[in-house]
Amino acid sequence: MEVTRALFDEVMVPNYAPPAVIPVRGEGSRVWDQEGREYIDFAGGIAVNCLGHCHPALVKAVQEQSQKVWHLANVMTNEPALRLARKLTDATFAERVYFANSGTEANEAALKLARRWAFNEYGEQKNEIISFERSFHGRTLFAVTVGGQKAYSDGFGPKPGAIHHAIYNDLASVEALISENTCAVIMEPLQGEGGIIDADPAFIKGVRDLCNKHNALLIFDEVQTGVGRTGHLYAYMDSGVTPDILTSAKALGGGFPIGAMLTTTEIAKHFTPGTHGSTYGGNPMACAVGEAAFDTVNDDELLAGVRQRHQHFAEGLNAINARYGIFKDIRGKGLLVGAELKDEHAGRAKEILQAATRQGLLCLVAGPNVVRFTPSLIIPNDDIDEGLTRFEKAIAELFGTQD
């Protein structure tokens, strides 16, 4: 069978609009398409491929586990799931882990657990959830309604209720919404899809204090920021604040689908047998690969390298901006980096992404005005430099000569 981009239009639901490029092979921070053309990968599968493509530790884990057991129903447990859960609880505030397949499923579990906890402890009136404008928590109807972007949730019929949206980095807006009927506040410690917006430390601490005051749980969505992405194992570790529930996915499997919800024993006890579940959650294949990824990333030297690479990345982007003057801000943490366009270039982020692809670079957007970069956490500096060279060629293609 000949596989081309045209086949997508014949057989796939059109909720995506991929380019003509079809990658067929990857190694490290580079991928190759069907024609053998090479690309530097600054996208990382949207912050998923934390160790690049075909990392030896992950390949070994897949090979070894594939010869043991692939799947077991959750009427049983399995060794890889238990090992990974132990490592997650040893490394974080958490005492209990629930495994899922994706970030949205981890968030669904977190939100359901928060409501069940509140129902059992305080009664059915304590069911309100506070999220933030421009936030993103996944695509299930519950998670996408909690997310603060109506474009993703409108048009699907009645939405789940008792969900309110405050303004990120505006503590007063949270104070205006929170009450004794609030069961949880869910937030990203650094907004990803919303434009790579970092939370002010005082804001995070203020939200934690408000949750304590009103007996509400604080949920950190670390689907994108977790597993080394910000230069810390989880972003909360650099915030001075500990959540009650944390969700993790994306980089947790290094490219293999897995999600997790982490919490305390006292909160976890409200998920009794039958209250929630997942057919594939805790799958031994996924957990074996997740364990290999976690073991590799949970290393002080690797995490320090992520922070160093942030500086290298930012310096390169600022040098390009000094020549072309199209960005108003270069921001982010670790290897979650955003470049926001100036107002006169608003709405052109996708054009830049497309031009970058033509120049042999894969990158992302975070809304219409922000170009987003989420490469491998171990991308060599030489690949960063080559990728930025290609990125500058894309900028020159669109914006002409240097200032």
Which distant-in-sequence residues (6+ apart) come within 8 Å of 341 by Cβ? 326, 327, 328, 348, 349, 369, 370, 371
316 with 283, same domain: the answer is no
pLDDT per residue, tens digit, the chain (403 aa), is 889 999 999 999 999 999 999 999 999 999 999 999 999 999 999 999 999 999 999 999 999 999 999 999 888 999 999 999 999 999 999 999 999 999 999 999 999 999 999 999 999 999 999 999 999 999 999 999 999 888 889 999 999 999 999 999 999 999 999 999 999 999 999 999 889 999 999 999 999 999 999 999 999 999 999 999 999 999 999 999 999 999 999 999 999 999 999 999 999 999 999 999 999 999 999 999 999 999 999 999 999 999 999 999 999 999 999 999 999 999 999 999 999 999 999 999 999 999 999 999 999 999 999 999 999 999 999 999 999 999 999 999 999 865 5
Domain C-terminal end among 297, 312, 343 = 297
Q: How many CB atoms lie within 10 A of CB 305?
A: 19
pTM score of the predicted model: 0.96
Residues 403 and 230: beta-carbon distance below 8 Å: no
283 with 313, same domain: the answer is no
69 with 88, same domain: the answer is yes
253 with 358, same domain: the answer is no
121 with 24, same domain: the answer is no
Set 42, 132, 136, 203: catalytic member: 136
Binding positions for N(2)-acetyl-L-ornithine are 139, 278
As a whole number of angstroms, the distance between CA 372 and CA 384 comes to: 14
Set 42, 126, 198, 250: catalytic member: 250
Domain C-terminal end among 276, 297, 318 = 297
291 with 312, same domain: the answer is no
Domain C-terminal end among 263, 297, 331 = 297
263 with 213, same domain: the answer is yes
34 with 97, same domain: the answer is no
Task: Please name every residue paired with 338 in a beta bridge, in sequence order, or none if there are none.
Answer: 331, 372
281 with 316, same domain: the answer is no
Binding positions for pyridoxal 5'-phosphate are 103-104, 136, 221-224, 279
Burial status of residue 255 (CB atoms within 10 A of its CB: 0-12, 13-18, 19 or more)? buried
HSE (CB half, 13 Å, CA atoms) of 245?
31
**Structural domain count of the chain:** 2
As a whole number of angstroms, the distance between CA 107 and CA 259 comes to: 9
CATH number of the domain encompassing residue 362: 3.90.1150.10
Binding positions are 103-104, 136, 139, 221-224, 278-279
221 is catalytic: yes
CATH number of the domain encompassing residue 184: 3.40.640.10
Which of 119, 138, 135 is closest to 127 using CA atoms? 119
203 is catalytic: no
Domain that holds residue 100: 57-297
250 is catalytic: yes
153 with 174, same domain: the answer is yes
